[in-house]
Structure 1
Amino acid sequence: MDDTLLRGHTCLHCQKLNLCGEPENVFVDTNLDLKYSSSVPWSMRFTGVYLSDLQEGARDGCSLGKYLSSQLGEGYPEKVECDGMPNLLTRKPIITDPLSDITVARIRKWKVRCDLSKSQAPKICSKPSPKFLPNRLIEIVRIDNGQKPCVRLVEGSSLNADTEYTALSYCWGGDLKNCLKEGNKDSYSTEVPWKHIPRTIQDAILTSQKLGIGFIWVDSLCIIQDSKTADKEIEIGQMNQVYTHAALTIVARRAPDADAGFLHPRSVPSGTTIVDFRDDNGETRRGTLTFKAAERYEDQNILDTRGWTLQEYVLSRRLLIIGSWTTTWSCRKERKENCDGWSLDRDLGDPFQNDATWASGDNTEFTGAHRLDAIAFFGTHPDYHQPRPEDRLIKWEWYELVELYTRRNLTKKTDRILAISGLAQIFSPMRGGEYAAGLWVKDMPETLLWENSSAALYPRPRDQGPSWSWTAINGIVKFSKSHNQNVLSVESIECELDQPGAPFGSVKRGTLRATGPALDLEWKCCTSPSSCKYFKGHHLRYLTPDRGYVNAPIVFRPDAKESDWDWTTVTLLAVQGMDITRRIIITMASEDQWKRTLHLVGIGVGHSIAPPMHNHIAQSLGLPWTFYATECATLDDLMDLARKDTTAGLVVTMPYKNAIIPRLDALDDLAATIGACNNVYRDWEDPEKLRGTNTDWRGIKGCLLEKGDQAGVPVLNKPALIVGAGGASRAAVYALSSYFQSSIIYVLNRDEQEVIDLTRDSQKLSPVPTIIHVKEGEAQKLETPYYVVGTVPDFEPQTPDELAVRANLEEFLSRPEKGVLLDMCFKPRRTRMIKLAEQKGWPTVEGTHVIGYQIEEQWRLWAGEERVKKLDREGAWKVLIDTAEKSPGINF
């Protein structure tokens, strides 16, 4: 019953009910076998009334009985809030406007009071020195007089150093279509189109303007999302300063995503009703009756589950939180929020929900402050000499923060260390010493005693962090708070950073060397039903001199979901004392464990020239990987190869580019749009999953740009021609229509149904190109194409349809207008089509070059962004061309 008014009335049923502000039990008829009992403050008192009585009243027409039985029948405890009765008023009424004029006035008054609270010593809410402005801000130029709102992107360096700005903490909810990119940076400096701004960000801009603050920082509009430089890494490295220096942080707690907004009117929650009643003094009152089930909705919002928002919350000096039922504002001095409506119990995910206060001796400014606030202050005021929290308390505060953080979700799991880097930065002055992939070196070795406490284990991600760090896994982390004597000595820790200037950011690799008591064991992992004949799970054994192998009586929990393997030698390493619960297992990694294979798969690929080039790349990257050309007679053979643990990726060729799609775990947007897959790689967050993409179009684009009127410059808006309508033709359509802007594409093909299918698949493109199936004798009526792409095997035409394709192609090529022809055929290297085109005076590109233009994107997906930066592109091309020169009879 939503927002229902129960009109005042008297009946034999409801007169038994007594609304009272005292804790009482709610009696339930045990014959109904309901799992319900409660004793809660401010409950409704039922004097000998059972649920069956309420149901009887409901049948007799008692509206209050009907309402109560419908709610209590679900097993929810009830509460009553009574407007106008101080002895019963536990909450203020819900204010439907999240940012009413009264609320805004109170917030502005609070902010002024916080700003003016000065003394000789810095205040816990004060900004750190030196002054700071983000590199970019959104300026609110105009939002008044009913005119169209106007905002623009400005450089922080162009503003006065004392400029106030707000920052936004919100949930993206997926990729944003409109955000700051290299291509729109200049136009956004003039104006960011209001209609392009997601509603949540619009509401944040309106909020900032209402509070009299003319600038706002929003990550999606102030960080270049597709930057080819390190813009994103630089901005993430400044995150702690962005939120610490903001006048306040607007927390869009109510908005589940960037498009939802948060300033629209609130509605009374489900399970709430307005009731007229007579109190113990005989006076008529109106109350709001609400059930706790509805209460929980406020705490079940998406924002509190997101990893990035935790550090935004902690780093901010002031917070303005706009929630589903209430707007609250707080600062480091006043953590007990001011609010405009219901004040709810804190969510368990709130980093300030515990009572970890810090007693600061004589400094009353910090007395009673939350320990996290004190750490945040001292972390940004390292020269402030006052008694600080004890080191052991700071250590455990970090562990608890990490445990809380790992309960949250990240859209990109590889952000696991980045999304807490700002917090690590403010902890650093207090902790001292080196920070290594989420752990503090001064806490070694006990800090290694973390475990994955998630109910379910996830596959071990690739290159997310060193194996000894909690950043290497996905799941909830729990630290051991043991005080036993350490028996392990950490000799050295070496971490290679992704960005040398970002010591709290992600690492490429990390090495830890330690000495201590150790025991060699063998470990077997058996989880799949097909391989577990006798037992399932993880098993340890050790070799004795007299009895052979003996099961090790050790219960342990892996930190990730592992693939099956047979008995493998590992080392059990003691960390503290001789208690087996204080040990960690380290796999003894041999070189074979890192070996991987890559494959060119299809039919007729046995003489490919691709392996030497890819093997040169693997060697230049320092990877023990080998690339093979592997014949796959059936799609099942191909998938068996792809699913092997040692297979890192595939290049898919004819005839499987379309057929493989339904057999993959996921397909990226590009491959889905093109309708063909030529590259398979492991999901970086779940390596057991195979993902597909298409890189053929990059090869086609690169080849056609080689031989145009001006090398590297596309010829746009010209008709194009494709020979063939199979899997490779789809990548050609995409390249020609999206990059070369060919709105008309001719297709020569012997099978009309294949062209119909190609035309259907091309409807996914924007804009949709016009596909024309050129039949016998129709070529002479059409304009000459500029770009021609061959996608069929090399053979002598025999059938009438094949001869018609050849005749139409010769008609196009015989004209005085010339363009560029690319033949993607596998073999021979110089195909009939290339020879014909050269006879007619057309510049041609051999299919050999198609793979050369794809290597960077392919290796980025197989081996990772960081590794591909070291790719020897020039050397790879040289190997490719040299191999092609030595193999004139084949292509790739």
Structure 2
Amino acid sequence: MPMVFSRNNNKLAAGIESPEGLIELCGFDVYMHQDLIQADEKKPLGILREMHGDPGSKGSLRIASNWLASCVNNHANCSPTVPGGQILPKRVLNVGDETTDPFLVEPAADSRSGRWVALSYCWGGEPSMKLTKDNIGRLKQGIPLDRFDATIRDAILVTRALGLTYLWIDALCISQDRDSQDWIEQSSKMNIIYGDSTLTIVAANSSSVIQGFLKERKLQYIPLGWLPHKVRPEEPLYSLAPQRIHISPSWNSQDDQITGPWTTRGWTMQEGLLPNRLLFYTSTQIIWKCCTVIEYERGVKQEPSKEVVHGFIDAGGTEIWNFDTFSKFKALPLYLQLIPETSLSEKYRLWYALVEDYTPRRFKYIQDRLVAISGIAKIFGDLIRNDEYVAGLWKQDIVRGLSWHVRGAKLIPSKTLQGFSVPIDRFPSWTWASVGYDVVVNDHARQDGLRSFSVIEDVQVNLVDRANPFGAVRSGNITITGPIFRLSRLYNKQWQCKETPMSALERYVSNIVEEESIGEVEERFSSSNGQFAALQMLQHFPSIDRRLDLLILEGTDGTSNGITIYRRVGVLSLQYIHQRFIASPELVKVREVSKRSLRSRLGSDSHRRSKKLRQSKEVFEELVSEPWPRQTIIII
């Protein structure tokens, strides 16, 4: 059976002819030496660029340098807003050259205009060289290149190859002394340090500063001989010798994704969103990402076409939600101009999406959680205008913001971090920062027209640094007034016994606590001496389903000016399908569709979940017959 090869752009498909037709066996990518591709840039050859096994080779570094030059010269929306260079950070590393060792620089306030590269990487332990008051003089004198940790050494080499002088690295440009205020000051400027950088290098393929990112890669190229010839006299003749043409197994599209330890660290999220230009070093290739294009070392290029940009505007900005997080963040200014000012859900939707991406990320010190997103928060706050940021939430939308919960457990969230309990005094209980490394979501992030039962009277936050409202907090409290129902406990193990005297709410809460608890229910939830409460928060009225969120709270035995103080436990969601809406054949049909959809979602757990829906309905009916008194409380 004869082999058949077919070509489609830069790919070859290998197969065999059979009586039933062509049977494809495998695919190959076709690569050409980069010098030949660059010989006629205006006439794309449709063939991929041959990559180098060593990402630190001159050829590979030249690719990165060409990307930067092309962006600087051609992409107006990627350039800094200040012509002639930005204000340099307080400290930068002069990378030197082959004859000059790198050395630390503290630019004078009147001569700090310039360009710099920032480095985003995983510490993976303690760097062997950090800035302290004891070694700052030695760093200013110069340090031999081989004395630096591998990741920092690689970043210095790349910065030199890009033709830039200054490199910013947190371990060497922020004082690491325990008693230093420098860290508090500089950590509040990440939006400037990364956002105004000419370029940020991302060591995505390294989990530790000692590993480095210019690592040799295994390439599976098979060379092919090819002697070009002129079909028409005006065509260029690259060479009369056989050219460097290779084939390799078809590229795995997963290798175009940014994965690895860098994507799971808390600090790196804003470091990957704030810059306008990013140079990623992955285990398979280098990748360029800016506000205009994404380019891959192997020669693939992605860029939003004019049709997509116009479609984004014509659709009222809705195309933004099809973008990746980086593109959504960069498109936010345009998006905010297109949405109605009255739509709080659209105004804050991206923030809740960012929190959802951010909360699973890990920290060496969990207390850095709010600091490590402060740069994003500051830019977001500048864009939405006229709102106050309070420990991860926004005051104008704080009733909706308080309705967050961890995915899979609304009422009993996980509170463990790598086997250790979260120090709850690090954060107020009402902020999403107070839970473990679970994904935090907000069910109301996309909903307008919500009815709020509670009113925010006051929000107070005790900041670590008063000059930085987006940074770390020592404590915080919310004074809120709304319908409240007090509970002696959240869980009664007799809740399934109909003879046990309990309100519909108490029975329903016990069911949820039992369902969401891992192992035994915590004793504090089942003790009859507890001081719990349910506060009515938000109600949503679609055509058939009626939904209500209750904030579940736990007393602290404390008061302030006679007002009871609570901590947040979680959210209790009630759902009620109104029978009285069914008044016409059309609505009956809608209800049947809703029931079928509900059954398909419930699956094998339909009996248990149907029981919960009945309990939820009973709680609604109980609320109508016995309205709760309105009271003012404080949540810390």
Tell me what 1:164 maps to.
Answer: 115
1:337 to 294, 299, 302: 294
Q: Compared with structure 1, are the counterparts of its residues 330 and 83 closer, same or farther at alpha carbon in structure 2 (3 Å cutoff)? A: closer
Distance 2:94 2:518 in 1: 46
Measure how far apart 1:187 and its partner are.
Answer: 1.6
2:151 to 166, 188, 200: 200
Distance 1:543 1:589 in 2: 28
Distance 2:159 2:276 in 1: 16
Tell me what 1:231 maps to.
Answer: 182
Is the 2:61–2:158 Cα contact (8 Å) retained in structure 1?
Answer: no
Distance 1:124 1:542 in 2: 69
Tell me what 1:518 maps to.
Answer: 484
1:318 to 253, 277, 285: 277
Match runs of 1:544-555 below 5 Å: 550=507, 552=509, 555=512
Tell me what 1:427 maps to.
Answer: 380
Distance 1:356 1:406 in 2: 33
Q: Which stretches in structure 2 are left out of the alignment for 5+ residues?
A: 38-43, 226-244, 541-545, 560-636
Tell me what 1:218 maps to.
Answer: 169
Q: Compared with structure 1, are the counterparts of its residues 539 and 221 closer, same or farther at alpha carbon in structure 2 (3 Å cutoff)? A: farther
Summarize deviations over 1:691-734 as a string: whole Å, max 9, x none.
Answer: xxxxxxxxxxxxxxxxxxxxxxxxxxxxxxxxxxxxxxxxxxxx
Q: Compared with structure 1, are the counterparts of its residues 20 and 505 closer, same or farther at alpha carbon in structure 2 (3 Å cutoff)? A: same
1:469 to 417, 426, 431: 431
TM-score (norm 1): 0.48
Is the 2:404–2:442 Cα contact (8 Å) retained in structure 1?
Answer: yes
Distance 1:124 1:378 in 2: 15
Is the 1:181–1:227 Cα contact (8 Å) retained in structure 2?
Answer: no
Distance 1:375 1:300 in 2: 19
Distance 1:524 1:540 in 2: 16
1:287 to 243, 247, 254: 247
Tell me what 1:153 maps to.
Answer: 104
What code does the residue aligned with 1:80 have? F
Distance 1:327 1:175 in 2: 26
Summarize deviations over 1:5-61 as a string: whole Å, max 9, x none.
Answer: xxxxxxxxxx56645468xxxxxxxxxxxxxxxxxx987657679xxxx9xxxxxxx
Q: Compared with structure 1, are the counterparts of its residues 476 and 194 closer, same or farther at alpha carbon in structure 2 (3 Å cutoff)? A: same
Is the 2:32–2:47 Cα contact (8 Å) retained in structure 1?
Answer: no
What code does the residue aligned with 1:457 have? S
Measure how far apart 1:154 and its partner are.
Answer: 1.1
Q: Compared with structure 1, are the counterparts of its residues 355 and 255 closer, same or farther at alpha carbon in structure 2 (3 Å cutoff)? A: farther
Is the 1:180–1:223 Cα contact (8 Å) retained in structure 2?
Answer: yes
Measure how far apart 1:521 and its partner are.
Answer: 2.8
2:268 to 299, 305, 309: 309
Give % identity: 23
Measure how far apart 1:115 and its partner are.
Answer: 3.5
Tell me how many residue pairs correspond in the alignment.
493
Summarize deviations over 1:199-220 as a string: whole Å, max 9, x none.
Answer: 1101101111111111110000
Distance 1:522 1:47 in 2: 77
Measure how far apart 1:291 and its partner are.
Answer: 7.1
Other structure's SS at 1:467 match: coil
What code does the residue aligned with 1:575 have? M
Q: Compared with structure 1, are the counterparts of its residues 564 and 125 closer, same or farther at alpha carbon in structure 2 (3 Å cutoff)? A: farther
What code does the residue aligned with 2:122 have? C
1:448 to 393, 402, 426: 402
What code does the residue aligned with 1:337 have? I
What code does the residue aligned with 2:297 have? D
Other structure's SS at 2:271 match: helix
Distance 1:417 1:360 in 2: 36
Tell me what 1:586 maps to.
Answer: 553
Tell me what 1:490 maps to.
Answer: 456
1:436 to 390, 395, 413: 390
Measure how far apart 1:388 and its partner are.
Answer: 6.6
Is the 1:452–1:559 Cα contact (8 Å) retained in structure 2?
Answer: no
Q: Compared with structure 1, are the counterparts of its residues 555 and 274 closer, same or farther at alpha carbon in structure 2 (3 Å cutoff)? A: farther
Tell me what 1:140 maps to.
Answer: 95
Is the 1:19–1:44 Cα contact (8 Å) retained in structure 2?
Answer: yes
Is the 2:4–2:17 Cα contact (8 Å) retained in structure 1?
Answer: yes
TM-score (norm 2): 0.66
Summarize deviations over 1:630-667 as a string: whole Å, max 9, x none.
Answer: xxxxxxxxxxxxxxxxxxxxxxxxxxxxxxxxxxxxxx
Distance 2:497 2:108 in 1: 61
Give the structure with higher Rg (CA). Answer: 1
Tell me what 2:348 maps to.
Answer: 395
What code does the residue aligned with 2:28 have? V
Is the 1:452–1:476 Cα contact (8 Å) retained in structure 2?
Answer: yes
- Asked if 1:478 is matched to 2:435, the reply is no
- More RCO (CA 8 Å, sep 6+): 2
Other structure's SS at 2:487 match: strand
Tell me what 2:233 maps to.
Answer: none
Other structure's SS at 1:153 match: strand
- Asked if 1:175 is matched to 2:126, the reply is yes
Tell me what 1:457 maps to.
Answer: 414
Tell me what 2:604 maps to.
Answer: none
Distance 1:542 1:416 in 2: 47
Tell me what 1:529 maps to.
Answer: none
Summarize deviations over 1:374-404 as a string: whole Å, max 9, x none.
Answer: 865988xxxx9x9476665441111111111
Q: Compared with structure 1, are the counterparts of its residues 450 and 45 closer, same or farther at alpha carbon in structure 2 (3 Å cutoff)? A: farther
What code does the residue aligned with 2:313 have? A
Q: Compared with structure 1, are the counterparts of its residues 83 and 241 closer, same or farther at alpha carbon in structure 2 (3 Å cutoff)? A: closer
What code does the residue aligned with 2:426 have? Q
Match runs of 1:60-79 below 5 Å: 79=27
- Alignment root-mean-square deviation, CA: 4.7
Tell me what 2:628 maps to.
Answer: none
Is the 2:94–2:166 Cα contact (8 Å) retained in structure 1?
Answer: yes
Is the 2:32–2:48 Cα contact (8 Å) retained in structure 1?
Answer: no
Tell me what 2:137 maps to.
Answer: 186
- Asked if 1:80 is matched to 2:28, the reply is yes
- Asked if 1:570 is matched to 2:532, the reply is yes
